Structure 1
Amino acid sequence: EVKCNFTKQNYYLIPADINKEVTILDLSYNQITLNITDTSILQMYYLLTELYLIENSIIILCNNSFGNLSNLRILNICRNSIHIIQQGAFTGLTKLQQLYLCQNKILQLNPDIFVPLKNLKLLNLQGNLISYFDVPQLFHLELIILHGNPWNCSCNLLNLQNWLNTSNVTLENENITMCSYPDILKYYSIKTVPYKAECYSKLPSPITEDLQINFQSISNSTFNSSLNNLTRNSEHGPLGKSWAFLVGVVMTVLVTSLLIFIAIKLPIWYNFLLSYKHHHLEEHEVETYEDGFTQNPSSLSQIPDTNSEDTTVIFEQLHSFVVDDDGFIEDKYIDTHELCEEN
């Protein structure tokens, strides 16, 4: 073992001139923030087995903060101000056995952040602000420390209680790991708090979960196949009946417009036809009509078996169509007595 102790040195950055063969590095009680520069320097100390960053100024644990420390077995980051732990913060720590995150400002933890920790045996989350914690996928975990957090012992914490009671994990300081909410459950341990039957009914059984997963997969496959068929039909098949509906609407509009147009224009045409019977003949039309008879006198002689009297009658009937020069048409309905009185 190669130990290096740099505690209380008021360091703001991890020094880069440390022995590259260091295995135990203690940087506690400094001002280190574990920023990008610090994480790049840490990559050089790939032989580290123990790293202590107690009481520094760390706020965020970024992705791959310890990516090259594959030999690390103990990581202690207690008494900082950590409130955000990114998804891949512990990537590469495949041999880590003890993780200390106590006395920080962690509000919630995604259980997936512990997935890379295949050999973790101890997890210390004491003294944070955690009120809810889902079951982590830590198959080799032996000891967990959770006291000092404001636990909300509603139905959501029932999974954690079942896990603590059925697994081989030991809850340290069980008697002081108490509920803070709701008030009626205060002073109960999170491992022994009594839950109502309604909380158990909200938990899906393994059979129900399998059925739900199978149903979801079947429904998703059915939906996808239906969507693919619809896409193929829309690309290669006919358009369906929507075009017929559109044509029907257009024809209805056209026919209705035509009927309205006819209803408006029909009285005008009717009046025009009535006025056609009272049209006056022009003077040149009368002359043309008379000339037609004078130029063809033979037409009268061609009438068989007619005497002079009949000819005179026909001639008088033909000349009855001639209009007088005054241009007026005699109206038989004018009362002659009234006309004399007016004169």
Structure 2
Amino acid sequence: MKTISITILFWLLSMLLLSDESQTSKTEVKCNLTAKNYSLIPANISKNVTILDLSYNQITLNITDTRVLQTYFLLSELYLIENKATILLNNSFSSLSNLEILNICRNSIHTIQQGAFTGLHKLKKLYLCQNKIVQLNPDTFLPLKNLILLNLHGNLISYFDVPQLFYLEFIILYGNPWNCSCSLLNLQNWLKTSNVTLENENITMCSYPDILKRYNIKTVPYKAECYSKFPSFVTEDLHIPFQSISNSTFNNSLNNLTRNSEHESHGKSWAFLVGVVVTVVMTSLLISIAIKCPVWYNFLLSYNHHRLEEHETETYEDGFTGNPSSPSQIPDTNSEETAVIFEQLHSFVVYDDGFIEDKYIDTHELCEEN
């Protein structure tokens, strides 16, 4: 009797195991549609599909695609690697409550709306690598209560606020242009104090500023100024009086500094004004001197000349006409030729005299005399 009961028990257990295996084999339905050049998610797939691979297509995850996805509510794994998605809309995966793995790497995603992951309560692994994500709202990850792995490598993220992912174990952040300023201090503290493992830590390097490029984001040293911007929790009884004292001392020093700066600014302004006036006056004097110099030079040159007296003029004319070629010494010349030569010489003396242009010679009077 005992042997019969034992055999019945073994038979029941074996049947249960076989039924579980058959159920698992029935529930796991794979569908591989990679590299089919699909621009939309096909709607003719079996509704019992659990693993759907649509990688290497032209899918954009538009509104039509999200509506089709709602019908595949048994999905546990979805692969959309290297497609054409640019935006993850709100409620894109809201009906996929059984989804555990979502891989959307190597797309062109630059915007993730805050409710994009709504409904993914069982999601354990999220891959958003090699996209064009610049900024992420930490509230976007709030629906992911059971997320274990988050892959964000190869994006354009320079700042990342701490997400509230209590079950997260692994995070991948390398290949981003991290700005290791004070704003990244919270992320560093979270990586150090939480149980999250930063994968590829040695190559998760700072890109800015230049002096911190040799550090990774987990070990970069921060100055005391950064810690003052993000103070640790202090009791109010100690913090408030210290803050009031520091504020009062700061205000006093600020008042003294402003007073001194006002006095110094007034003195410097007067000195600057005087210097500007002196510079302008000296420059104007130099310009006027440069302009007047030619006039004064001509005046001095003309001042050295004097008006010829009458006897000096007659003497000069007599001496000029008494040269060897005078009419008295020329043989065989008549009086008319002598008169013509005399007039030509006389006219030459009048108009070629160097003193004609002198301002002290009255040319009108000289013409009358002639």
- Tell me whether the two structures share a fold, i.e. TM-score over 0.5: yes
**Aligned equivalents of 1:149, 1:41: Cα separation in 2:** 33
> Match of 1:104?
131
Spell out the pairing of 1:294-333 with structure 2 (5 A cutoff): none
**Aligned equivalents of 1:72, 1:205: Cα separation in 2:** 39
Could you report, residue by residue, the CA deviation over 1:113-149 in whole angstroms, capped at 9, with x for unpaired residues?
0000000000000000000000000000000000000
Q: With structure 1 as the length reference, what TM-score do the two structures score?
A: 0.60
SS of match in other structure, 1:206:
coil
**Aligned equivalents of 1:208, 1:131: Cα separation in 2:** 33
> Match of 1:66?
93
Q: Identify if the C-alpha distance between structure 1 residues 180 and 117 changes in structure 2 by more than 3 Å, giving closer, same or farther.
A: same
**Aligned equivalents of 1:138, 1:153: Cα separation in 2:** 22
SS of match in other structure, 2:52:
strand
> After the TM superposition, which segments of 4 or more aligned residues of structure 1 sit over 2 Å from their partners?
204-212
Is the aligned partner of 1:127 residue 2:154? Answer: yes
**Aligned equivalents of 2:209, 2:231: Cα separation in 1:** 24
Deviation for aligned residue 1:207:
3.8
> Match of 1:295?
none
Q: With structure 2 as the length reference, what TM-score do the two structures score?
A: 0.56
**Aligned equivalents of 2:128, 2:144: Cα separation in 1:** 14
SS of match in other structure, 2:37:
coil
What is the root-mean-square deviation in Å for CA atoms of aligned residues? 1.6
> Match of 1:156?
183
Segments of 5+ residues of structure 1 without an aligned counterpart are 213-343
The code of the aligned residue for 2:78 comes to L
Alignment partner for residue 192 of structure 2, among 165, 169, 176? 165
**Aligned equivalents of 2:175, 2:108: Cα separation in 1:** 16
SS of match in other structure, 1:99:
strand
> Match of 2:7?
none
The code of the aligned residue for 2:59 comes to I
**Aligned equivalents of 2:237, 2:144: Cα separation in 1:** 27
Alignment partner for residue 114 of structure 1, among 141, 148, 156? 141
Deviation for aligned residue 1:211:
11
SS of match in other structure, 2:48:
coil
SS of match in other structure, 1:75:
strand
Which structure shows the higher helix fraction? 2
Is the aligned partner of 1:56 residue 2:83? Answer: yes
Could you report, residue by residue, the CA deviation over 1:199-248 in whole angstroms, capped at 9, with x for unpaired residues?
11111333479999xxxxxxxxxxxxxxxxxxxxxxxxxxxxxxxxxxxx
**Aligned equivalents of 2:237, 2:88: Cα separation in 1:** 36
Could you report, residue by residue, the CA deviation over 1:226-275 in whole angstroms, capped at 9, with x for unpaired residues?
xxxxxxxxxxxxxxxxxxxxxxxxxxxxxxxxxxxxxxxxxxxxxxxxxx
Deviation for aligned residue 1:187:
1.6
**Aligned equivalents of 1:153, 1:38: Cα separation in 2:** 38
The code of the aligned residue for 1:122 comes to L
- Identity between Structure 1 and Structure 2 (%): 82
Alignment partner for residue 32 of structure 1, among 56, 59, 66? 59
**Aligned equivalents of 2:76, 2:237: Cα separation in 1:** 42
**Aligned equivalents of 1:136, 1:210: Cα separation in 2:** 31
